[in-house]
Structure formats: structure tokens, C-alpha cells
Structure 1
Amino acid sequence: MFEPHKVAYRHPKYKTAYRVKNWPEYEKSLRDRGDITVWFSQDAIEAWTPQQNGKRGGQPVYSDIAIETSLSLRLVFQLPLRQTEGFLGSIFRLMSLDLPCPDHTTLSRRTRTVDVQRNIDRLPDGPVCFIVDSTGLKVCGQGEWHSRKYGEKRYKRWKKLHIGVDKNGWIMASKVTEGYEQDPSQVPDLLDQVDREIECFVGDGIYDREPVCEAVQQHSSGASIVVPPRKDAVLSNCSTGVLSQRNQHISKIERMGRSNWRRRSGYYLQSHVENVIYRFKRIIGGRLRSKRGEAQEREALIGCAILNKMLEIGRPVSYQVC
């Protein structure tokens, strides 16, 4: 029987304080984020123009890595397409590079088909902990100040970005859908992008669905599923199968309380994907610049690759102080 009066009191607004212990390395990585050579690398220069395929007809002028590099510069430095074209041209002139510069119409057209690399080469080997969540990205409509001052008078349109990360913050899977799409329905597509064993699946209460458990078990039969059941959840009649772990969570919550269950079950890892979403909104932005669905998918994927690249450059190592 759970006795709440015997549990140590913790204020719900208490926030643990941390301190960065590798500040010199982390500070250098922050400076490197603005270094042109990080985003316009020697590998991109060497592979800027693709090899001729020998087939009849027109040959491609720019490789996928050239388009991806151009669009990455656009997102990192928050540039429109025409300014991106001018920015690339100035880089070529300063570096005395004899390379063709893609114009803004080429960048707009190739955004729909470019092959984007996720930059997860440094992901540790072995099973991973897969943490999922989603966020909204605005496509059109007025900003927050206009809405607050004049009310919701104009049409707004949103897309939803679903992402899956590991416990170190590497974005392993992503998908852009319409705003009305339900989060649990996208779990199978996210799992299909993960090419390694999953030891733990973590999601918030919206993923408390039987199809989600079935998709996780089908991908990795031995994976533990850490999803908080609803407050009015009841035990399933099936003691084995995909809902057996859910029954265990319900029993533990009744015995020790929801707060203790969150800490002991590993549900606290949900904060890692929330932090990645915050980084995406802060660095890339909360609005999609592309208008077509295929281009929006690639744009979000490039944004995820940028965050992985920044994580590869350097990350803070913190320790708890109080």
C-alpha cells in the first residue's frame, strides 16, 4: 500500500543545478559552429561536381553533397535562398575556387530530392535507448506577437516533426507529417530508420497504445517499453505479450507512486528528446521555409543533421552541484 506521507517531500518546481566541467572544450565547439570550414569542408569541395554517368542527355551539375552543403549553410546562418546563392559565390571568390555556384531556383528544386546524411557516425556501438517525441513547425501564419495583440484572425498552418533520439542526444530518426497526424501512428516509420537493436523505448503518455508496443516488440523483441500509463489505466487481462510490461508499470505506480516510478523506471530520459526539440527550435527555428511536402521533409532532415554535426563538434559535460 502506497503511503504518501512516508515519501520525502520535493517541491514540484525544484530544479537541479549543474555546472559545466569541460568549459574550454565546449567554448571552442561553440566558436566552431560559426566556422565556415566546418560546414564547407574539403570533402564537400572535392565532391562538389558529380562524375559523369556516361548516359545520353543532360548531366547533373551539382552533387547531393553540394546541395546539402548549400542548404546547411542556409539553415545555420538563417539565409533566404537568394542570399544563400550570394553567400556561396562570395566563398568561392575568397577561396579562389573554380566551382559552379547553384542558383536559388536550383536549390529550391533540388531540396525535394536531395539525399541527406544524418551524421551519426560517432554513435556508440551496441543497443541503443530510443526516445521519441514530436513538435509543431509553422508553415504559414502570423507570429506570436501579432496573434496576442490582434487575436487569431489569420489562417495558420502547422506541420509536425516526429524525432527519435538516443540518450546522448543523437537524432536517429525523423519524419514530418501533417499537424493532425497522431504521434503513435508514426512510431513504426521511426523504428524503420533505426538499424540497430533497441534496448529501451521511452515516450510520453501519448504513446500508451497497444500498436506502439507491438511495433517496438517487432523491431526488438527484448526491448523494455517505458511509457507512463494513463491515470485511469487498469490492468490488462493478458498477463503475457506486449501489454505485460504495461501491467508491471501500473502495479509499480500503485505501489510506489508516479513520481518515484518516473525516477526508477528510467522515464526521466524523456527530458533528452525534449532538450533536442528545444535545440532545434532555438538553432534551426520553429518555421519551415519550404512550401512543398517533400522539401519540408528534407529541410527538417537537414536541420537534424546540423544538430548532430554540432554534437559531433563538442558537447558540454556537466555535473550536479545542488
Structure 2
Amino acid sequence: MAEYNQGLRRRGDLTVWISDEALGMWSAARRTTRGGQPRYSDLAIELCLTLGMLFKQPLRQTQGFMRGITGILGVEIAVPDFSTLSRWGNGVILQTSPRADKQAAIRLVVDSTCLKIFGKGEWLEEKHKTKRKRRSWRKLHLGLDLVSGEIVSSDLTTDEVGDPTALPGLLDQVDGPVALFLAPLSDASIACRAMDGAYDGEPTSDLLAARFGSMIEVTIPPPKTAILSAIAGQDSTARDCHIADIAARGRMAWQKASGYNQRSRGETLMGRWKAVIGPKLKARAFEKQKTEAKIGVRVLNRMTELGRPQFERTA
């Protein structure tokens, strides 16, 4: 507990420094093809955008904040202006951080939530006092490793994209074997209008088996109206076993016995996102919103590295 408390304190530590290595990489490398020479590297843009997101600053205030930091540290580097940060947010390449142990099996839980965006409806309501037809949303999909507490995959889509449609892209980002897959029955983002049955069904099971092998443990609650498959008597599927177990013991007992209650960690992750990063996206363009979401993932993962609670089953 003392170590975890210290980790929480470090998340609020304002100690800032820029390493010599980062200073050396601040300017963009000399390009060898035709065209203008960029002034700043992706690292410089990423750092500015990350600090702006962490402290919930608009781009102009982010520029001023970075000027203040460089002045305090006494480093001679140029700070990108707000228009540069806005343009580069459309195509900045974020450096990937590989897992420390790629051979360790991942216990993956996936979930999604809605993030509000500023759209035409808000402008009309504010400017002309008209009633908007519907809210504007983006849908954030996250994959959490229950072992490390790290977000191992993420994607930002339009609100029409359902969870099963986004799943292959999430799995493509998983760097290592997966031993357990947990997911909700129904699409949690009701406000996004994407109720499509979510992960329950053979397409998800077949996809997971093809990617990670037939031995992967898949725990997805079947709907109340689910029935056993035609081959349940001869070759029961994992879904058949879940249906029979729920019928015999009840849904709550099945959740506890199967470990499905661990999926609450995915819901907690969504709560952390909206508390730390926020329930809205600042960027207007979709590609910039995707960059914003990826930077948010990096912020939360960095906080997790500083300290996280240890979970132990006591009964």
C-alpha cells in the first residue's frame, strides 16, 4: 500500500527535465527527398501534445506552457507554435513502446465507451439557440492486460462502428500470446447507436482461435435467450458450457466462478480515462482525434508504470 501511495504521488509530481538524448532529437532529421525541411521532430510534437493533454490546455496555452518550461530549464530549443501543433497532430508518428516480456501471456479484457466531440449540433445550439437533432460522438475501444495493467491496444472509430467490427484491429496491436479474453455481451456504448450483439457468437470465437490458438479461454456472457448449439451433446463449445453453467447455477454464480467479474477492471479503465483525460475530444478533424486518443493511452500507461495496486484473490 505504501508503494502504491507513493506511485500516486509521483503521478502529480511536476518535476520536469529534458534529457540530452531528447534535446538531440528535438529537430527533424534532414530529409533526403524533395520538399520543405520540417523544423521539429515527431518527438517534439508528441511531447508538447502530451503535456497539453495532461494539463488540459488548448494549443495556444500549450505553446506558452512549453516556453515557460524551456525558460526554467535554461535549454536552447525552439517551441512549436499552436498552428504547427495543430497541423502535425494530423500525421504525427508515435513511437511504440514494446512490452518488457513479450513471451508472457496476456489476459485481455476489451471494452468501449463514447467520447463527445464538438460538432455542427453544438455550434447551432450555441449560435442560433436551436435544438440539435443528436449529439456527436466518437467511439473509443480499449484492450487492457489484466496482468500488467497496461493498455495494449486502442482504436478510435465513428459511432457507427460496432465492437466486433473494431476487434480485429485491436487484436492486430497485441504484442504477444493471449491466454484469456473477456468482453461484455452487449455494446456498452448505447448512446453511440451501435447495439449489434457485440462479441457473443461464433465470429468472435473463431477470430480469437485463429489468432491465438484453440486453447485460449474465452469468457463472454451469453444473452438470456441463448440456447445450446445443435452439437452440444457431442462436442460442446465454450459458449454451450457457459449456457449450461448459468442455467444450473445462476448468472451471478457463473460470473464469480468463471472469473468474468474481472471485466469490471475494463469499466474502471474507462472511468479513469474520463477522469484523467476527459469525456471529450478537443480536436475537430477525425485523424487528429485519433492522434489525441493514442496520446491519451500513453498518458494512462505512463501513470500505470509509476505505480498500480496489486490484486490478490482472498477467497
Shorter-chain TM range is 0.7 to 0.9
CA offset digits 1:291-320 (Å, max 9, x no partner) = 111111110111011000000111234679
Contact 1:132 1:273 (8 Å CA) reproduced: yes
Deviations 1:232-278 (A, max 9, x none): 10011144999811111111111221111101111112011111111
Whole-Å Cα distance in 2 between the matches of residues 124 and 162 of structure 1? Answer: 22
Contact preservation (8 Å) 1:213, 1:225: yes
Task: Tell me which residue corresponds to 2:152.
Answer: 172
One-letter code of the match for 2:206? E
Deviation, structure 1 residue 140: 2.1
Alignment counterpart, residue 10 of structure 2, candidates 32, 50, 53: 32
The Cα shift of 1:123 comes to 6.0
Moved more, 249-258 or 304-313: 249-258
Q: CA deviation at 1:64?
A: 1.2
Aligned residue number for residue 285 of structure 2:
292
Aligned counterpart in structure 1 of residue 24 of structure 2, from 7, 22, 46: 46
Could you say what secondary structure the match of 2:75 adopts? coil
**Cα pair distance change 1:63/1:305, threshold 3 Å:** same
TM superposition shift of 1:102: 0.5
In the TM superposition, structure 1's runs of 4+ consecutive aligned residues that sit over 6 Å from their partners are 240-243, 318-322
**Runs of 5+ in structure 1 lacking a partner?**
1-20
1:219 is matched with 211
- Superposed, which structure 2 residues align to 1:202-213 within 5 Å? 202-206=182-186, 207-213=199-205
Please report how far the alpha carbon of residue 45 of structure 1 lies from its aligned counterpart in structure 2 after TM superposition: 2.9
Alignment map for 1:106-121 (pairs within 5 Å): 106-117=84-95, 119=97, 121=99
In the superposition, the TM-score normalised over structure 2's length comes to 0.85
Secondary structure of the residue aligned to 1:205 is: coil
AA aligned opposite 2:168: P
Counterpart of 2:248? 255
Residue equivalent to 1:194: 174
Q: Which moved more, 1:123-132 or 1:158-167?
A: 123-132
Matches within 5 A, 1:124-139: 125-139=103-117
User: Secondary structure of the residue that 1:83 maps to in structure 2?
Assistant: helix
- Amino acid in the other structure paired with 1:217: A
Kept in 2, the 8 Å contact 1:202–1:270? The answer is yes
Match of 1:266 among 250, 256, 259: 259
- Structure 2 unaligned segments of length 5 or more: list them: 187-198
Q: In structure 2, what is the Cα distance between the partners aligned to 1:156 and 1:30? A: 35
- Give the root-mean-square deviation of aligned CA atoms: 2.9
- The one-letter code of the counterpart of 1:202 is L
Residues 1:182 and 2:156 are matched in the alignment: no
User: TM-score scaled by structure 1?
Assistant: 0.83
Q: Deviations over 1:46-66 (max 9, x none)?
A: 321133234443222111111
Amino acid in the other structure paired with 1:29: G
Matched, 1:58 2:50: no
Contact conserved, 1:120 with 1:308, CA < 8 A, in 2?
no
Tell me if 1:313 matches 2:306.
yes
Q: Is the 8 A contact 1:139 1:157 kept in 2?
A: yes
Matched length: 295
Give SS of 1:101's match.
coil
1:50 maps to a residue whose letter is A
